A and B are shown apart, each in its own frame.
Chain A
């Protein structure tokens, strides 16, 4: 069974940093692009960042570009999101989600497996 498990969410002060992790199991991790999607309290879904299966192609939403860094370690079957210069508007549940192929930027960009999410709260 395919599974994704996020961790690393916490309460952090504005301007602070945090690293989220997403551990995968049940599928060949390097064969699939993975995406971070977030959901602010009581709000809808927002695409944050995506990385191809090899890690060679990376994409960011404008709202996080220059502050967040996505990466993956295929040997550890783990995805990361390094978040810096955090703002109150970054407060959300962060989900990692698996795409149907190794490609992140072209078509086939739906998400067929999601983690349970990890909560990030940015507040003083």
Chain B
């Protein structure tokens, strides 16, 4: 099973700032089979990024993903008020699929 560790646990930033979220795997995620999701309180997760760097349909270009192997990053270039939420990474390289524990992006 591939374990995913996200850091930091909480990121306190102001609107307009840049957010950098990390997801580290305990073994290589082949073919960059990694996705990122956003979840707001009381809502289902929403797909942001798949294949480590491909934006899902309708996702603004301020969201970008990068990385390969064991180290992946989600960057939000300029935080909008609606971006304050919890973000999860997920690998689909192997079964069982696994998720990171989440990074909460909160308003400073």
Contacts and interface: CB of A to CB of B under 8 A. Distances in A.
Interface of A: 35, 37, 44-47, 50, 59, 61-62, 95, 97, 100, 105, 107-112, 114-117
B31 interface: yes
Contact of B56 (A35, A112, A116): A112
Contacts, number: 60
Q: Most chain-A Cβ atoms within 10 A of its Cβ — which of B37, B51, B57, B92?
A: B92
B90 A59 contact: no
Contacts of B45: 37, 45, 95, 97, 111, 114
Contact of A109 (B44, B56, B97): B97
A117 B39 CA distance: 13
Contacts of A108: 92
B44 A107 contact: no
Interface in B17-63: 31, 33, 35, 37, 39, 43-47, 50-51, 56-57
